[in-house]
């Protein structure tokens, strides 16, 4: 069933859940059986199995319109782990990707609060409540290239555009689903950061770097807010990754990494999928860098 928030789709319920309302019931923190944190022997259920499987869970991957991108590769991995996958982008090509993946495609502008709300309703009606959220939307593409301009020449509109598509999208989508995750006592959120901003920076990338650094700040704050509710929130920070949107300059940068090549979308997707899985239950508020060791090396050696 096709859904297009921009077309004013009315095939789903317009009863909006209050995205700003906290979960109805805060889960108590649990400790392993036998551990005595307060001088009283604790007896709690066994922790969830250490498994990568996501059988039956509903997963949403944003920004999955490109068949060569990180979002598409992530959706494919989550599908292979047993998740029921929803994907979303700003254009109707998402329905082609959905057909290829056996997923459900949605069209929405994730910088628009009302469209994110309509998307949440549509997914709930067609697939069920989202339990796994991958905030991948915002990475540059050929259709929507990154703004490369020194701060002195950067317009306020260009600044806002970079912040909105890289940071606001993660905020709005996370806010739309965290209430339901908290009420059910389980959830996974993985945000796509980047090495630019949290780890390093290049001239002319101030807006992008600021947005991606903001993604890490959002990740850590939200992780602490949700830690008692069985919801983990982490970030993955790719370095130079070979996608259809890669420029020649970026590919040359990839050749200069310690590994000697740019990364692939599948390699980033593998890291994301792990953090989405039950196996990552004791990891939250973290940023996993996937850059071939580039951020570790102190200097370029010949």
Q: What residue spans of 127-186 are helical by DSSP H? A: 156-163, 169-184
Determine the distance from the C-alpha atom of residue 244 to the mean position of all C-alpha atoms in its chain, rounded to a whole number. Answer: 20
CA–CA separation, 280 and 273 (whole Å): 10
The tokens of 249 are what?
């300059």
Active site residues: 208
CA–CA separation, 216 and 198 (whole Å): 7
CA–CA separation, 162 and 140 (whole Å): 9
The residues, ordered by sequence, that sit 6+ positions from 156 with a Cβ below 8 Å of its Cβ are none
CA–CA separation, 286 and 232 (whole Å): 10
The residues, ordered by sequence, that sit 6+ positions from 224 with a Cβ below 8 Å of its Cβ are 285
- Strand, helix or coil for residue 135: strand
Integer-rounded Cα radius of gyration of the chain: 20
CA–CA separation, 197 and 193 (whole Å): 8
């Amino acid at each position: 069933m096709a859904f297009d928030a921009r077309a004013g789709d009315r095939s789903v319920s317009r009863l909006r859940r209050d995205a700003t309302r906290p979960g109805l019931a805060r889960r108590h923190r649990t400790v392993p059986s036998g551990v005595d944190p307060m001088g009283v022997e604790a007896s709690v259920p066994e922790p969830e199995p250490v498994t990568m499987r996501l059988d039956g869970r509903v997963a949403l991957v944003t920004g999955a319109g490109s068949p060569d991108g990180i979002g598409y590769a992530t959706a494919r991995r989550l599908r292979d782990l047993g998740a029921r996958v929803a994907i979303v982008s700003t254009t109707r090509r998402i329905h082609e990707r959905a057909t290829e993946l056996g997923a459900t495609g949605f069209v929405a502008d994730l910088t628009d609060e009302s469209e994110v709300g309509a998307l949440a309703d549509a997914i709930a009606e067609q697939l069920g409540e989202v339990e796994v959220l991958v905030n991948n939307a915002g990475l540059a593409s050929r259709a929507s290239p990154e703004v490369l301009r020194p701060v002195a020449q950067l317009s306020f509109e260009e600044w806002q555009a970079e912040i909105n598509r890289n940071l606001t999208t993660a905020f709005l989508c996370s806010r739309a689903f965290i209430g339901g995750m908290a009420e059910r006592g389980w959830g996974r959120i993985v945000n796509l950061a980047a090495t630019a901003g949290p780890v390093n920076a290049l001239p002319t990338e101030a807006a992008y770097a600021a947005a991606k650094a903001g993604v890490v700040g959002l990740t850590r704050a939200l992780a602490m807010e949700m830690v008692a509710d069985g919801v983990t929130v982490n970030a993955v920070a790719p370095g130079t990754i070979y996608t259809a949107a890669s420029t020649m300059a970026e590919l040359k940068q990839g050749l200069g990494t310690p590994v000697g090549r740019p990364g692939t979308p599948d390699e980033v997707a593998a890291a994301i999928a792990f953090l989405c899985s039950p196996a990552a239950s004791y990891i939250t508020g973290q940023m996993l860098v996937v850059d071939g060791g580039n951020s570790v090396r102190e200097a370029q050696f010949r």
